[in-house]
A = this chain, B = another copy of it.
Amino acid sequence: MAKHKTPMLDQLESGPWPSFVSDLKALADERTKNPKKLDFQVPVDVVDDLLGLLELSFKDGATHWKHGGIVGVFGYGGGVIGRYCDQPEMFPGVAHFHTMRVNQPGGKFYTTEYLRNLCDLWDLRGSGMTNMHGSTGDIIFLGTRTDQLEEIFFELTHKFNQDLGGSGSNLRTPSDCIGAARCEYACYDTQDLCFTMTNDYQDELHRPAFPYKFKFKFDGCPNCCVASIARSDMSFIGTWRDDIRIDQEAVQSYIGGEIPPNAGAHMSRDWGKFDIQKEVIGLCPTECMRMEGKKLKIDNKECNRCMHCINVMPRALRIGKDRGLSILVGAKAPILDGAQMGSLLVPFVKAEAPYEEIKEVIEKVWDWWMEEGKNRERLGELIKRQGFQKLLEATGIAPDARHVKEPRSNPYIFWKEEEVEGGWTRDVNEFRKHHLR
């Protein structure tokens, strides 16, 4: 029997989409039954109380969680978010309900063995509820008590060779798209770069030394399957600088209807016969494609590598061979001054281990931000406040028309004194000799 009545939540058990309520209830039951006879280290009714609290929130139209207190594991400034409930007497099971962020593996591939180990650990020492995964990418252990934090960390590191992820004014847990592991569009090995950066910057990840949070995300190509361009202070997006490879025979197969366009992604509706002119050539944003007789031609110099044609005809068109990545900076959510997308900083850099060239850019960006950034100022906000030029100076990157969508339309240029012939010091009395008052 459920500890709390949850009439509102119960309504979310119907309908086809997997019901988190049913899942929660099943776990609550399981804990009550406790078939494995675990000596639960947090209250057995933690999930019951979570259900009860959630029901109350549904009724009240408001959260019942309080601000997190400062809890964590020794020597780390992140990885744990404190959480307390504002009705601890009604719901003692969730009076303390901290989360832990477990740094997910690249591409979020798992063995069942590893997952089961985590489950066992978490059943014993936590609520058994998780987020798979948090928005930043971590495996989220949802709900434990302060005294369990070090225990869990100890078991994670000692038994599972597994560290926590980031929170606070740190480097946050980097995350990547599946990329080369299973995707033909990958222009570099996202998993390797992500893993290397995560490990090379463990100190930045665990010990807050930044003005605010900082996020890396790694996308293998401009399709951006990990949305790096929208939500990472530094996005690494694969690209190439030579020609798109064309298999003219396959082009003909698409035209002939033997291969469905876009790998069949539109198959649930009859869109009519594939029309290469309308669907590919005519939709190329740079208009750099054309048919010459039976041959598809691409003026690669004019291509901006938007991926559209490749997405539509993956068997005929392939990314180039001279690959690397673009670095964009400053993406963030709207707080405080409005959201930002990443702005292009490095149009192209090779992405080959040990990635020294990339690390140089990262470190110059950090140095500048740590020097100039105010408390709680994201990189994007600093760039806005001081100007993109300052970022270029700080990173030693030469200004390039690729840095802008368009040149400035106001002429308000802040010239520097050394750029202006004769400098700024002038004698007004000398001037007045030629220009009487």
Contact = CB atoms under 8 A, between A and B. Distances in A.
A338 interface: yes
A62 interface: yes
Contact of A334 (B60, B66, B339, B411): B411
A377 interface: no
A350 interface: no
A59 to B, nearest CB: 10
A32 B411 CA distance: 44
A436 interface: yes
B435 A339 contact: no
Given A334-B411, A411-B334, A64 B339 contact: no
Query: For the complex formed by this chain, how many copies does it contain in all?
Result: 2
A410 B338 contact: yes
A337 to B, nearest CB: 9
A183 to B, nearest CB: 30
A86 B339 contact: no
A334 B410 contact: yes
Interface in A323-355: 334, 338-339
A412 B337 CA distance: 10
B62 A409 contact: no
A436 B87 contact: yes
Given A64-B435, A435-B62, A435-B64, A410 B86 contact: no
Nearest to A408: B338
Nearest to A432: B86
Contacts of A437: 66, 86
A260 interface: no
Nearest to A410: B338
A258 B384 CA distance: 56
A161 to B, nearest CB: 41
A1 to B, nearest CB: 26
Contact of A436 (B60, B86, B434): B86
A435 to B, nearest CB: 4
A339 B62 CA distance: 45
Interface string A25-53: 00000000000000000000000000000
A60 B434 CA distance: 9
Interface string A410-437: 1110000000000000000000001111
A418 B270 CA distance: 50
Contacts of A334: 410-412
Given A435-B62, A435-B64, A409 B339 contact: yes
A164 B231 CA distance: 59
A107 interface: no
A9 B339 CA distance: 54
A88 interface: yes
A437 B87 CA distance: 9
Nearest to A336: B412
Looking at A60, A64, A66, A434, the one whose CB has the most chain B CB atoms below 10 A away is: A434
Nearest to A85: B436
A62 B426 CA distance: 15
Interface string A57-89: 000101010100000000000000000001110
A322 B218 CA distance: 56
A339 to B, nearest CB: 7
A410 B339 contact: yes
Nearest to A56: B434
A340 to B, nearest CB: 11
Interface of A: 60, 62, 64, 66, 86-88, 334, 338-339, 409-412, 434-437
23 contacts: A60-B434, A62-B434, A62-B435, A64-B435, A66-B435, A66-B436, A66-B437, A86-B434, A86-B435, A86-B436, A86-B437, A87-B434, A87-B435, A87-B436, A88-B436, A334-B410, A334-B411, A334-B412, A338-B409, A338-B410, A338-B412, A339-B409, A339-B410
Return the 10 tightest CB-CB contacts between A and B, nearest first: A86-B435, A86-B436, A338-B410, A334-B410, A60-B434, A87-B436, A64-B435, A339-B410, A339-B409, A334-B411
